[in-house]
Chain A
Amino acid sequence: MLSRVAESIFWMARYMERTNRMLRMLHTKYISSQDEVTDFSWNSVLQTYSDKGAEHNQLIETNSPRVLAHLIIDKENDFSVINNITRARENARSVQDHITKEVWLCLNEYYHLIREKQIEDNLLSGDPITSLDQLIRHGMLYNGTVDITMAREESFNFLNIGRFLSRAIISIDLLTIKLKEYNYDLAKHADDPTWRFLLYSLSGYELYLKRNKGRIDANLVIQHVLYNPEFPHSLQYSLNRLTRYFDRLKTESNFENHSQLEFLIGRCSNNIKYSNFSNNSITLKDFLKQTRKELVEISSSFNKIYFGIT
């Protein structure tokens, strides 16, 4: 497979993973904001998903429709959903002969959907949840289309490597946003009911309830997000899948290149596996930072080793 093609598929998957998770997070956040009595602020989200700086964020942080429009359909915001979808589509466009027609059409429709006037109208002056639901559903359609149409070959492996690498990074980011909201004070927020919003954002609330008999506890939530191997958005699960799809590249790769990256992925995966936290927010903060750094390093090693970018 062409290096450029592998890179485009990898990034297509990364942008789509971001899109899906961001929408789910905004959905949860918006619903929770409507329940909140006073002082609800979008600041922590804006800090991560807006490129416009603190001053701009302060201006709109309490105006939910404007925040949603800024984060979803504002082309000026580099990190907005619309820009993620556009980039995913641009990447897909240049590799149409390596993804299935269904995947391409699905992305193309997604691109046209988010530009529809009714999406904007609902976000700004109607019911934002309608727009969010529509977009989230289309995101799920994409994932389903990928799974049932793509051949299990090299392109599928690169797609999944991109997907799970992004997923791991996003799970760290969402956990970090939550911790920031609590000022890393786990003791004070040990049984704060708002932990459930993190679980909603990661589509992991139902599983958590089943495993923990309905008890909300900071430590259990963190364990769930970091280590639960059955939860598709946990860090450990993402790394397991990443390892698996990377392993499948072995026969298609140059031996030396493969072992270099195998080392990085294995190290990161084991660092997670053999870590342990119980209410120690300081080490948790450092750990998340360090793990994120390692994941970014894996990504840039793909650039260098597989995509020929120096």
Chain B
Amino acid sequence: MIREFGLIDVMYLIAAARWTLALTATAFVGASLIGIVIAIARILPFAPLRWLAAAYIHIVQGTPLLVWLFVIFFGLPLAGISVNPWIAAATAFSVYGSAFLGEIWRGALVSIAKTQWEAGASLGLSLGEQLRYVIVPQSIRVAIPPTVGFLVQLIKNTSLAAVIGFVELTREGQLTAAGTYKPFAVYITVAAIYFAMCFPLSQWSRSIERKLDVAR
């Protein structure tokens, strides 16, 4: 039975966008936790740790996210570990995001002059204290704009989770399009909702960038 694409469908789409945001938020938290470890591992003077972190980044960035979604969602059950789409998506996006955030934050950390580390060390601060009190606070200013930029990418990329049946905005769009035979109207609406989520973030990122420029 074909139904009309009406206001109620738009409401359903907006409701599904909550899951897009939930997945983005979860993945961002997961990616941040792993990413900060990766970023710091890559700048510390312990070679094995650096190599391990670099290998992790190369592997994750050198493979498609979609494949990871498939590996986790279809592969793990074969190994006897059953995962629901939510867990699979949250895991895959956290891993994917951690490699990118790890690189962004590493860049922010190394952008702080070596003399700042030296000044801290000369005052008797330990390596951890140099990071905590001197390097990280300064690099946050550098890191915020690209981090927000990545967040926008993450929101859009969560649409990939639709392929493993996780019902977020894109998957809801597919279902609505199938039920109404109005793919154009439906997907334009979907696009508009994505835009409504991403645009304010990009603007915010830009305004932060401007503020930091002025502060310099």
Q: Do A and B associate with each other?
A: no
A: residues with CB less than 8 A from B are: none
